[in-house]
Amino acid sequence: MTSQIKKIAVMTSGGDAPGMNACIRAVVRSCAYYHIECFGIYRGYQGLIEGDFKQFNARSVHHIIHKGGTILKTARSKEFRTKEGRKKAYKNLKDNKIDALILIGGDGTFTGGMVFYQEYNFPIIGIPGTIDNDIFGTNYTIGYDTALNTVIDAIDKIRDTASSHSRLILVEVMGKDAGFIALNAGVGAGAEEILIPEEKLGLKRLLQSLKRSKRSGKSSSIVVVSEGDKIGKNVFELADYIEANLPEYEVRVSVLGHMQRGGSPSCFDRVLASKLGVRAVEMLLDKKSNIMVGFLNNKVVTVPLEKAVKGKHAINEELLRMSDILSI
């Protein structure tokens, strides 16, 4: 490989996700392997603007592959959305003689990277890291698999108590505007109903389905509700609505919240993070930039950053159909 790249910086940005540390480790160690200097930028774009950089070597990232969160910390920077903020960021990169930037994050992170590339033509590679799995051009984002396992574990426990009390429990899961976590965890946990933003089930159909469940002899139920679901009510109002219309149900709500973002990454996420981290460095050495490295159909692939930002990762409709069959 021939290249002018001598110094790479890596950062995590947006919501943290299990596996980000494994990815940082892969980037730092690949740089060491290829004799490139590597800098970590703390607190995402905010640290980039404030010059919060530190030089890393292969040993700086020992014993982090199994850790949740991100050793580089993360932030959602408002300042980077301004031209002035991006100007400061560019100056810091130039002052530190950094040749390229690897961004680990979700769509907000990639949008920032795309704008920055357009303004300064600065070499950038994106690595998809978010529990939401809502990035186009990759079947999986780093953190999604671990989050699914966390949600399944929580729902299994919730089911124990739902069953003991013969209750209906609405479990709200994360996912911003996407239903990947709800749909897959819902099928995996055997939920009676799954509400996701991609499908407009409607209140009427939800009530019908719950009535059917009761008639079929079920004494307890789990309904997984994606936080971005557009059924027209938040999860607490939805609980009140169900109780008002179906008095035979005693309803409770469980919002899983930020526990979904924590914990030790699954083996799948560690391996995915390692593959994408290595490939990101190799792409820069190969003079490629303004792309995302993803994992599609069992292969590490690259996608133009703009496509990753603007494309829509579609949910698997077949899973929805299956869930209807299996919750009979």
> Binding to ligand F6P by residue 130, rule CB under 6 A?
yes
Identify which of residues 29 and 73 has a Cβ nearer to ligand F6P in the complex.
Answer: 73
Give Cα 286 to chain centroid, integer Å: 27
**Residues 259-298: x where in contact with ligand F6P by CB under 6 A, - otherwise, as a string:** --x-------------------------------------
Strand partners, 294: 301
How many residues bind to ligand F6P according to rule CB under 6 A?
Answer: 11
CA angle 42–40–130, rounded 5-degree value: 65
Catalytic residue, candidates 16, 99, 107, 132: 132
- For the chain, the residue count is 328
| Residue 174: CB minimum distance to ligand F6P, A | 3
For ligand F6P, the binding residue among 106, 123, 129, 197 (CB under 6 A) is 106
CB of 130 to ligand F6P, least distance (A): 5
E strand or H helix at 155, and its extent?
A: helix 144-165
Q: Does 174 help bind ligand F6P (rule: CB under 6 A)?
A: yes
d(CA 280, CA 101): 10
Please state whether beta strands 291-296 and 299-304 pair in parallel, antiparallel, or not at all (unpaired).
antiparallel
Question: Please, what is the minimum distance in Å from the beta carbon of residue 44 to ligand F6P?
Answer: 12
Is residue 132 near ligand F6P by the rule CB under 6 A? yes
Torsion (CA) 178, 305, 278, 282 in degrees, nearest 10: 170
Please say which residue, 134 or 282, places its beta carbon nearer to ligand F6P.
Answer: 134
Concerning whether 132 is annotated as a catalytic residue, the answer is: yes
Q: Specify whether the CB–CB gap between 234 and 117 falls below 8 A.
A: no
135 binds ligand F6P (CB under 6 A): no
CA–CA distance from 270 to each of 130, 173, 184, 277, 282 (Å)?
13, 23, 20, 10, 19
Beta bridge partners of 55: 39
Q: Would you give the binding string for ligand F6P spanning residues 217-246, x where CB under 6 A is met?
A: ----------x-------------------
d(CA 141, CA 269): 8
> Which residues bind to ligand F6P, rule: CB under 6 A?
15, 76, 106, 130-132, 174-176, 227, 261
Q: Annotated catalytic sites, by residue? A: 132
